[in-house]
């Protein structure tokens, strides 16, 4: 089971240098790394700090940023699988 960001969110990150810069700052990564991990939908983008930054920038709720194997996450999904700890914690807080 792979938890990651939805494709529209990844596309926004890839197309928005200002969001890339904010993510680089909160994750302690370079702009080039942020671009690369967005292209590969790396788990680093599901860390609490990244989810909050993306949510604040886009106006999309944290729980609506994520998907599992191409499907949106639900509370039922969270109860069924062991997901990335940071993503799980943030979704529990906002559900």
The 10s digit of each residue's pLDDT in 18-61 is: 999 999 999 999 999 999 999 999 989 999 999 999 999 999 99
Q: Model pTM? A: 0.74
Over residues 49-93, the pLDDT tens digits come to: 999 999 999 999 988 999 876 677 655 444 444 445 556 666 666
Q: How many domains would you assign to the chain?
A: 1
Between CA 39 and CA 7 the distance in angstroms is: 10
Buried b or exposed e, range 34-61, using 16+ CB within 10 angstroms: bbebbeebebbbbbeebbebbbeebebe
The predicted pLDDT at position 74 comes to 57
Structural domain range at position 84: 3-94
């Amino acid at each position: 089971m792979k938890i990651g960001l939805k494709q529209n969110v990844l596309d926004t990150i890839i197309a928005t240098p200002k969001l890339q810069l904010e993510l680089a700052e909160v994750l302690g990564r370079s702009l080039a790394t942020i671009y690369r991990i967005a292209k590969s939908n790396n788990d680093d983008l599901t860390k609490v700090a990244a989810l909050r930054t993306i949510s604040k920038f886009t106006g999309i709720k944290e729980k609506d940023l994520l998907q599992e194997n191409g499907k949106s996450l639900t509370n039922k999904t969270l109860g069924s699988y062991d997901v990335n700890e940071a993503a799980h914690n943030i979704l529990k807080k906002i559900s």
